[in-house]
Amino acid sequence: MTKANTGSQPVKGKPAKSGPEEVTVSIGSGGEWHQTATGDQPALTTNQGLPISDNQNSLRTNPSGPTLLEDFILREKITHFDHERIPERIVHARGTGAHGFFELTQSLEQYTTAKVLTEVGEQTPLFTRISTVAGGSGSRDTPRDVRGFAVKFYTKEGNWDLVGNNIPVFFIQDAIKFPDLVHAVKMEPDRGFPQAATAHDTFWDYISLTPEAMHMVMWIMSDRTLPRSLRMIEGFGVHSFRLVNAAGESTFVKFHWRPKLGLQSTLWDEAVKIAGADPDFHRRDLFEAISVGDFPEWELAVQLFSQEEADAFPFDHLDSTKLIPEEWVPLQVIGRMVLNRWPNNFFAETEQVAFCPSHVVPGIDFSNDPLLQGRLFSYLDTQLSRLGSANFHQIPVNAPQCPFANHQRDGHMQMAQPTGRVSYEPNTLAADSPREHSEAGFYSAALAESGVKGRIRAESFADHYSQARQFYRSQSVYEQAHIASALVFELSKVEHPHIREAMVGHLRHIEDGLAQRVAYWLGMGELPQAPTTAVAVQDLDLSPALQLIGKMKSTLEGREVGILIADGSDAATIEAVKEAVAEAGAKVKIIAAKIGEAKLADGSFSKVDGQLAGTPSVMFDAVAIILSDEAAALLGKEAAAIDFVRDAFGHLKAVCVDEGGDALLKTAGIEADAGVVNIDCLDDFIAAAKTRQWAREASIRILA
């Protein structure tokens, strides 16, 4: 055995080596554990490769003496630790990423030369990072917020980054406004709060002075910003991009990601409670799905349109505060994305991945959207300060997976070791050095540009309300009510009455009924004046495709059902629910007040997956309550059990009960409705569990 320091004196000098090679664990003088490497294990070393004999005690002269500056091992370890953090992203700091692939199912050869969009059946590796926007990297997963949806395709022709959001429009029309928008939404600089929230004065002050944001305001106040799972959100490239074909002709394109599992959101109260119960709710969900091989999948769809078609739209296709309704330009599905591998290391990959909208491949080009044009600069710039080096493309998650070569050299943290004396082009001295490629190379779409230089906003960008109105009016009554409640919540947190009034003024252009609702609950006497508009607000045709409820799938796939049990619950009933739920494609968790096992009525035991207080019903899409009469009486006195059923009911979930479950519901004061199903009608429960009980909402919330 390796000599261990088991005595009261610290080891001084080298211990004598003896005995076979095996792991030795011993307690040192400070009471800490030492683990000594065997022949099979690598030695712990410094960054210079020096084996370390003691990783627990620093170098000192005697047991009560000072630590020596000479201790280079201590200094190296602490110095590295002190520098472990890099600046977090100014926005989108909290994100979750995974590897996967894109498979093209329909060629766009007619429109583009990009191989990733023309080679049907090819699988292009990719890395996707989904994020919240406002919160810091340590904030929670479920604030009301836009979700970033960034995909890096490692194509054969270089990296293509499609850096979008789960909302198809944006707050502002010109990138020069972005720093102000972000400063307004982030925590207020004098007080350092609120974290990950828009419900504060500076955000709404800025928004109230930015009428172009009103369309986006409708989206962010809708349940789109409260996703149930990252696997259940859409993604949008937002801007009009260009596809360029072999003849040099270009077509405008908008990119859409559509989740295979359909859209699904939580309710506000649910999202708030999830944040407390599991701040990593979305990250854990994605991690767990990928670990069990239930790979998240999205369709990639495109909207294609010509300049002539764009000219006929009643808005400007270069304005990122506008979308093109699916009913006008239908979506064509061209491929699918599957996320099938969790990163080996969060920091190395998810944190260091660097997306830039300027990363395109031949055949994909930009439009003159002034928001996009500014983004083309911003991302490269931010990566330089965030990752600290112009060589950030050498970090494995950022490196192209196709050959790449140029004459850029040196710089901070250079990893490559180019050989030879030539680092310039053209040259005559290195015949095999990289050259321009006239065929494979990237060409910008050949467009004629002319005009008078100036700080210009196109007149065609002037209509700020018509699409906001179209969005609001296209929603179901429940969704409209949620938008109104969200606005009331947010504006109720605003301390300055003039900001609230300005916002309600804007709402009047969207829908007077909405303005009235919000004004009422904000306790405003009279409706404030609507601001003057540069152009008349139009009544565009409604677009049902903008609804969230309309895009939810009636399914239990990818969902989870919680079964609340206790000692004495009926084994056969539990088994029947488990089977039916599993058959419908959902996961099941057994919840009880006591962790470990529950002894069932027939003497058998059921494993318990979650403790009641730590696994509230907000974690599930539907619940079953299966209890003996005694257990129901006991749990009737337990707040966590009452909350479990009240929240499930209040969050419009299907609830399946046996007699004991029914008794608990009664104790909780719940009046059963069509979504509360007796265990005898298990099929009805499964059908109800596949959706939310929207009709219930009017009985538990004021929707007017």
Please tell me whether 379 is known to bind a ligand: yes
The answer to whether 147 is a known ligand-binding residue is no
CB-closest chain residue to ligand HDD: 148
Report d(CA 416, CA 131) in Å as an integer: 31
Q: Which is nearer to ligand HDD, 378 or 414 (CB)?
A: 378
CB of 153 to ligand HDD, least distance (A): 14
Interatomic CA distance for residues 376 and 364, integer angstroms: 14
Q: CB 380 → ligand HDD: shortest distance, Å?
A: 9
H-helix segments, 292-409: 307-312, 370-387
Smallest separation, CB 169 to ligand HDD (Å) = 8
* Shortest Cβ 175–ligand HDD spacing (Å): 4
Tokens of 158: 């270089």
Measured from the CB atom, is 124 or 128 closer to ligand HDD? 128
d(CA 112, CA 408): 29
- To ligand HDD, the closest distance from the beta carbon of 464 in angstroms equals 16
Annotated binding residue 375:
yes
Which of 296, 298, 232, 256 lies closest to 162 in space, CA to CA?
256
Q: Is 585 left (phi over 0), alpha (psi -120 to 50) or beta?
A: left
Chain-centroid distance of CA 523 in Å reads 35
Nearer to ligand HDD, 366 or 620 (CB): 366
Name the residue nearer to ligand HDD (CB basis): 208 or 398.
Answer: 398
* Backbone phi, psi, residue 354, to 5°: -125, 110
**DSSP E strand stretches across 306-376:** 332-341, 364-365
CA distance 270 to 272: 5
Q: Give the nearer residue to ligand HDD in terms of CB position, either 287 or 694.
A: 287
Q: How far is CA 371 from CA 183, 462, 543, in A?
A: 17, 15, 25
Report which of 678, 663, 600 is spatially closest to residue 633, judged by C-alpha positions.
663
Q: How does strand 297-305 pair with strand 332-341?
A: antiparallel
Half-sphere exposure for 589 (CA within 13 Å, toward CB): 21
Report the alpha-carbon distance of residue 679 to residue 76 in Å, rounded.
63
The residues that are catalytic are 92, 165
Q: Whole-angstrom Cα distance, residue 230 to residue 217?
A: 21
**H helix count then E strand count, the chain:** 18, 20
Instruction: Please name the residue that has the structure tokens 């472990």.
Output: 84
Binding site for ligand HDD (CB under 6 A): 89-92, 95, 129, 131, 148-150, 163-165, 170, 175, 178, 238, 320, 353, 355, 371, 374-375, 378-379, 382
| Residues contacting 588, CB < 8 A, separation 6+ | 560, 561, 562, 563, 577, 578, 581, 582
Residue nearer to ligand HDD on the CB measure, 374 or 400:
374
CB atoms within 10 A of CB 673: 14
Residue number with CB closer to ligand HDD (168 or 505): 168
60 labelled binding-site residue: no
Q: Confirm or deny that 129 is annotated as ligand binding.
A: yes
Q: Which residue has the tokens 């003159």?
A: 368
Residue number, 378 or 678, with CB nearest to ligand HDD: 378
Contact 233, 531 (CB under 8 A): no
Shortest Å distance, C-beta 170 to ligand HDD = 4
Q: Is 89 annotated as a binding residue?
A: yes
Least distance from ligand HDD to the Cβ atom of residue 166, Å: 9
Q: Which two tokens stand for residue 685?
A: 């429960």
Q: Least distance in Å: CB of 254 to ligand HDD?
A: 11
Residue 620: which of 586, 594, 597 has the closest Cα? 586
Binding residue ranges for heme: 89, 129, 178, 375, 379, 386
Annotated binding site: 89, 129, 178, 375, 379, 386
